[in-house]
């Protein structure tokens, strides 16, 4: 596997998008503007938010690992409509 791009690059965002769609197939990530890093929320097909804003600031080994991304979504807190299936 190749190297992972830094957090602010379009290549990292593409890798993150693919990983999130594999982990949460019922939700689409909605990216948000931030000063540093990347922020996103998961939205289901009915338009309900299924996560609070999740922020990734710094590159580190395993940032795109399934366990890390699931923990980041869970640690961001539960929105009123609940977390996505699988958490």
Q: Long-range CB contacts (< 8 A, 24+ apart) of 20-23? A: 20/69, 23/66, 23/69, 23/70, 23/86
| Joined tokens for residue 34 | 């931030």
Cα 64 → chain centroid: 9
Q: What is the pLDDT of residues 17-45, one digit of tens each?
A: 999 999 999 999 999 988 888 999 999 99
Helix, strand, coil tally for the chain in percent (to 5)? 30, 20, 55
- What pTM does this model have? 0.85
Rounded to an integer, the average pLDDT of 37-65 is 91
């Amino acid at each position: 596997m190749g190297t992972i791009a830094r957090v602010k690059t379009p290549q990292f965002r593409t890798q993150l998008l693919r990983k999130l769609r594999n982990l949460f197939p019922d939700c689409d990530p909605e990216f948000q503007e931030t000063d540093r890093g990347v922020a996103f929320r998961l939205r289901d097909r009915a338009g309900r938010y299924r996560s609070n804003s999740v922020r990734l600031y710094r590159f580190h080994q395993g940032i795109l690992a399934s366990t890390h991304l699931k923990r980041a979504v869970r640690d961001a807190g539960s929105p009123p409509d609940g977390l996505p299936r699988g958490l």
